[in-house]
Amino acid sequence: MKCFSDELNQGLLDQQAFMFGHRLMGHSALSLANLGSALPALPAGQVFYSSGLLNEKDDFDRAHLDRPNGLTLEATIENIRTSNSYVMVRKPEAHPSFQPLFQDLLSDVRSLCKSRGMGDSVVDPMLYLFIASPNSVTPFHIDRYSTFLLQFQGSKEVCVFAPWDERVASSEICESFMAYGGKRPLWRDEMAPLGHTFQFKPGEALHIPFMAGHHVKNGPDDVSISMSIIFNSSKTARQSMAMRMNHLMRPTLGRIGLTPKPVGSDAVRDQLKATAWQGCYSAARMAGLVGSRQDAK
Ligand SMILES: [Fe+2]
């Protein structure tokens, strides 16, 4: 492992959230000097920033639109200690200074997936970088990927829920979210006791399994700098497609009083649904009904 410590418990990958150490403290790509020059050089569509004064109920995907902080990106970074802001950068590896870091992390993720029998391929890997003022909040959400989150500066509390827990988000909601069908998992105060809170500090890494809800609160003392690598294994890519197939079938089955079996408990059934989804997608594409291959993944 180049980036992750040897204490990492591989057997828990995508089963349960767990913490371990990382070896990237002091990496030059994460220095404030490099961030100050690299981030403004990235395409504007990859850099999102908003007020950090959010709560668990806010829409994480729309915070940069719904809750602007009224500053430019440069002013936001320069005043991050006091501006109550939250900066999220998608694919910072588009800048050359992040490429070696990305390749090293990808190498670790690839060997983890391989050793867990999840296949050689890592699907759609990408980095996300987060720079946040003290006390800022990342609202409750579920990602369409597995995550390794690495902390570089400041402390935070990360609350993670068990993956596939219907008490946190129903199959129907999760499938719609995965299929970009208009619904997303929402925070409800009664869910709070179901989460496990990790106290997270520099040098530590946290695995957030595929389909595990989570929310984050940064500590009061320092600016938080953290980075994640998100990815799908061949297994979670298959589950993702099976969920989209369930979303597609749900209205038709509902008309005859049936619901699709949830994804995640039967690999053979999930594979059949994933294959069906790929067939539907290919047919829709040939008919000119959809445009982007990305949506089939
Ligand atoms: Fe997340």
pLDDT above 70 for 63: no
* Reported pTM: 0.89
Is the model's pLDDT at 225 over the cut of 80?
A: yes
| pLDDT over threshold 80, residue 44 | yes
pLDDT of residue 53: 66
Distance 141 CA to ligand 1 centre (A): 6
215, 17 in Cβ contact below 8 A?
A: no
Above 50 in pLDDT, residue 229? Answer: yes
| Ligand 1 mean position, distance from CA 172 (Å) | 20
* Neighbour-count burial of 110, counting CB atoms closer than 10 A to its CB (0-12 exposed, 13-18 middle, 19+ buried): middle
% pLDDT > 70, the chain: 93
Question: 272 C-alpha vs ligand 1 centroid, how far in Å?
Answer: 28
140 alpha carbon – ligand 1 mean position (Å): 8
Instruction: Give distance in angstroms: CA of 80 to centre of ligand 1.
Output: 21
pLDDT at 15 over 90: yes
Report the chain's mean pLDDT, rounded to a whole number: 89
Q: What is the mean pLDDT of residues 238-263?
A: 95
pLDDT band at 32 (very low <50, low <70, confident <90, very high): confident
Average of per-residue pLDDT across 125-130: 96
Over residues 242-262, the mean pLDDT reads 95
Span from the CA of 38 to the centroid of ligand 1 (angstroms):
23
Residue 297 has pLDDT above 60, yes or no: no
Q: Which domains, from first to last, does the chain contain? A: 10-233 (2.60.120.650), 237-296 (no CATH)
Cα 156 to middle of ligand 1, angstroms: 14
